[in-house]
Amino acid sequence: MQTTPFLASPFTFLFLLLMLAHCASQNEWYIDQLAEQGPCNIEVRDSASLSQREFIDVYAYTKPVIISYNDDWNKVFQSECSKENMLKKYGEKIIRLSSANTHSYRKRDVTLQYYVEELLKPQDLDTLGNETFYWFGDNNHTEWKELFDLYKKPHLSLPGKEGMYSFGMAGAGTGVPFHWHGPGFGEVVYGRKRWFLFPPDKMPYFNPDRTTLYWLINDYQEIHPAELPLECTLKPGQVIYFPNRWWHATLNLDTSIFISTFLG
Ligand SMILES: O=C(O)CCC(=O)C(=O)O
C-alpha cells in the first residue's frame, strides 16, 4: 500500500504554514524602526573569557563593557516574555509608568494590557520626554517574583552589592535621556537598544525634557568627533555594564523588553 508522506499533502502543508504564522504573530512584539543602529565603540567581551577578577581589575570601577553570552542566554526568560504569555499571565497587573525624561518625576499606573494596547507606540519626535510614559523599573518585586526568578543574571558582580532588578517594556524610538546613578547591568530580552555613555566628568549637552530620539536627531550631529559618546546597540544575549556615575541615555530601536540590574 502506498502512503502519502505527511508534508506531501498541499493542504497539510498550508495548514502548518498558517499555524506557524499565527504562532509568530501571537509571540512577536512589534518591529518598528525609527533610528539607526549606529557604531559600537565599547569593548565587547565574550562571557566565557571574562573572569570576575579581570572584570574588577579592568572595568568595574573604570569603564563600560559589553558581555556577549551565547544565543541561548536567557531563552527561558525570553519565552516567558512573549507577547501572548505576558498578556495572558500578567495582563491584569497594574504597572507603574515613569515619564521618559531625565528626572522621571511623573508617574502613572495602568494595567499591563492597557499599556500594551494603548500606550506602547513608536515615539513621536515632537512629544516631550515628560509627556511620554514608559515602563521601566518601579516593579513590585513580590508580584513579579515568578517572572524575575526565571532571569539568569550576569555572571559578574561587585563586592558587597546585591543587585536590584528593573524590568520594562517600551516602543520603538523611546528611551531614557541622559542621567546617572550607581553602577549596573542592562540587557534586552526582545528588540534592540542603543546605549550612549559619557564618563562622570563629561556631562553631555542635552535638554532633560526632550527624548533621546530628539537628542540623537538634533544634538548628536553637533558633537565634535573627538567628543562623541561611547555607544553600542545591544541585542538579546548581550549585557552592558556601566560603572558608577557614568552618564547614560538609551534608545529602543524596536519595541523592546529589557531588564537592568542595579548594583548600588
Ligand atoms: O533600559 C532603559 O531604557 C533605561 C535603563 C536606565 O538607564 C535606567 O534604568 O537607569
Residue 199 CB less than 6 A away from ligand 1: no
In a domain? residue 201: yes
- Per-residue confidence (pLDDT) for residue 202, from 0 to 100: 96
For 108-147, give one letter per residue: b (16+ CB within 10 A) or e: eebebbebbeebbbbbeeebebbebbbbbbebeeeeeeeb
Over residues 161-192, the pLDDT tens digits come to: 989 999 999 999 999 999 999 999 999 999 99
Contact between 261 and 192 (Cβ < 8 Å):
no
Amino acid identity of residue 261, one-letter, is T
- Per-residue confidence (pLDDT) for residue 26, from 0 to 100: 41
In a domain? residue 130: yes
Mutate to test the pocket of ligand 1, among 197, 238, 248, 254 (most ligand atoms within 8 A of CB): 248
Residue 127 CB less than 6 A away from ligand 1: no
In a domain? residue 236: yes
Distance separating alpha carbons of residues 132 and 176, to the nearest angstrom? 10
Answer yes or no: is pLDDT of 60 > 90.
yes
In a domain? residue 229: yes
Answer yes or no: is pLDDT of 22 > 50.
no
Q: Please tell me the distance between residue 226's alpha carbon and the centre of ligand 1 in angstroms.
A: 25
Residue 260 CB less than 6 A away from ligand 1: yes
Question: Which residue's CA is the closest to the ligand 1 atom numbered 2?
Answer: 250
Mutate to test the pocket of ligand 1, among 250, 252, 263 (most ligand atoms within 8 A of CB): 250
Residue 175 CB less than 6 A away from ligand 1: yes
Half-sphere exposure of 163 (CA within 13 A, CB side): 19
Over residues 73-106, the pLDDT tens digits come to: 999 999 999 999 999 999 999 999 988 777 777 8
In a domain? residue 249: yes
Of all atoms in ligand 1, which is nearest to the CA of residue 174? 3
- Per-residue confidence (pLDDT) for residue 135, from 0 to 100: 92
Q: Please tell me the distance between residue 110's alpha carbon and the centre of ligand 1 in angstroms.
A: 20
Over residues 94-143, the pLDDT tens digits come to: 999 988 777 777 899 999 999 999 999 888 888 887 888 889 888 888 88
Domain with 54, as residue range(s), is 42-262
Mean of pLDDT values over 190-198: 96
Give the chain's domain count: 1
Question: Which residue's CA is the closest to the ligand 1 atom numbered 6?
Answer: 176
pLDDT grade for 23, boundaries at 50, 70 and 90: very low
Distance separating alpha carbons of residues 154 and 51, to the nearest angstrom? 12
Tell how far CA 82 is from the center of its chain: 14
- Per-residue confidence (pLDDT) for residue 2, from 0 to 100: 44
In a domain? residue 195: yes
In a domain? residue 15: no
Mutate to test the pocket of ligand 1, among 101, 120, 136 (most ligand atoms within 8 A of CB): 136
pTM: 0.86
* Interaxial angle between packed helices 10-27 and 83-90, expressed in degrees from 0 to 180 and rounded to the nearest 10: 60
For the chain, give the percent of residues with pLDDT over 90.
70
Of all atoms in ligand 1, which is nearest to the CA of residue 134? 3
Q: Please tell me the distance between residue 201's alpha carbon and the centre of ligand 1 in angstroms.
A: 20
Mutate to test the pocket of ligand 1, among 176, 253, 256 (most ligand atoms within 8 A of CB): 176
Residue 263 CB less than 6 A away from ligand 1: no
In a domain? residue 33: no
Answer yes or no: is pLDDT of 14 > 70.
no
The CATH number that applies at residue 50 is: 2.60.120.650
